[in-house]
A and B are shown apart, each in its own frame.
Chain A
Amino acid sequence: MRFHRSLHGFVTPLVLIASVALITFLGVLGGDQVKTSLTEMLIRMVVVVGMWVFVGNSGVISFGHVGFMCVGAYAAAWATVDPNWKSIMLTGLPDWLQNGQYPIPFAIMGGAVLAAAVAVLLGGAIMRLSGIAASIATFAFLMIVNSVYSNWDAVTGGTSSIIGIPTVVTPWVAFTLAAGAIFVAYAFKVSRYGLMLRASREDEVAARASAINIVRVRLAAFVLSAAIVGIGGGLWAHFLGVLTADTFYLSLSFITLAMLVVGGLGSLTGAVLGVVVVTIVVEVLRALEGGIALGKITLSLPPGSQEIGLGVVLALIMIFRPSGLTRGREVLWPRRRSPMTEVSTKTATALGPGE
């Protein structure tokens, strides 16, 4: 029995999912504007939780995950856009994609599979690199994805957008997938692979002496992570209804990484919390940019304040709390009761009062 405690049950993901459900529940009571921001936040949560599977457990920063989002989004869109439009605009697609139209859940899964496949190829090449070199390689990957998707006109529409993607992603749909992502990410963290990967994050040399094949465990996390982020991309496509490659570039990379760092790379709780906190900061700043009427005067921040504000928040976190708001801890971290204290408590109860 006492061993199971080390896996600390599934309390953490359940608490996280319940909190996100509460936020969603409150959000859907709001107006359209609120619902839009809420859905956006939940989709980003899928993406950031997906990134965390790799970045959080391995300690290797990736600038390239938004590239997987792009891959997943386009793949899902290819499968669900009206064939008539595709036969005019996306003439480079294979027949079965160009002339067919597939159910949205399959389309999104297809996007995840394609993102995972790309991750196998990319990861096979870069997981051998040391941390910083691997990070730079992921950035190179992002640039490659962006230029391929911006220029391959016959398949992606190039710089003109893909339009007419069915918009079916409601707040509750996005919530369901965010909850799924949280659950899978936590299951990964406490799995054998998660443990080995976290050990390699702590000390690569000692991990190798502990019979851990670092390349293999990193690659496994990278692929799972890409698949989840790919799902986030598919959701994004079916939320906005329009796709442009530039959506998935530097500013989205920056904001998703900021979410990870603000919450704390070390824990899943950090990833989830970071998404919520950064979204609130961004929304408040956006509202202020738009102007707030105070009696007769309208106060408004100059345009661009959003990015500056987010940058300031990030800098402050790095200065005052470098390991993020959660400091690498999960919500409901088990009380540090050792097995010994448990034994003695049991003994005490067995002995009964008065002993």
Chain B
Amino acid sequence: MMNNTVEVRGLVVVRGRHRVLDGLDLDVAPGVTGLLGPSGCGKSTLLRSVVGVQRVAGGAVRVLGQDAGAAALRRRVGYVTQAASVYDDLTVAENLRFFARVLGVTRHDVERAVESVDLGEHRDQVVGRLSGGQRSRASLAVAMLGEPDLLVLDEPTVGLDPVLRRDLWAVFHRIADGGATVLVSSHVMDEAERCDRLLLMRDGAVLTDDTPDGVKRRTGAGDVETAFLRLVEDLA
């Protein structure tokens, strides 16, 4: 079937002297997919490979039917790096207008992006003086410009309070309801419950690719965290 947004086959990435990903296989379909795993397991490396900024040593990464990083994908993929990737000394609106110009999209898109992350009140505030959560939302708004078909978000909810996290996940689902694919990394296991699909990662390999319920059922665990630990123990 070709309705996967992302297809990764035999991906090998070497960073420094460390083989971070070693023959990783993976499919991501439309909807909200969570990429979960402990710190250092290679989540950011995988996401960087999907958006085409990671130098890879082998394997194939296909995104929307093209090679990752292809020029034609640059309007169709939105990306939030693990660092906030917005300009702290510009206002929310200035940040959005800049990236909108780079993308060649209209002011109308800027307004829509501001509204969809609920930053209307703060649009003229300098990003460096926003709270952590508002800053993450500003960064997310930039990634939503031009309505990309794939959104790649590297730990967008880290350090946020539960209410904000819930709101952000609601935004992800709203985007996915429009037919887009949202790939979100996190190392907070309780966020797993909010995903349509779960990818559990450890030491550069995908342990499991299932729905949250499927993972729990298969391992007989009551929550995803326990399920993850059981999967790790099974491997040992």
B is bound to A: no
Q: Which residues of A contact B (CB under 8 A)?
A: none
Residues of B in contact with A (beta carbons under 8 Å apart): none
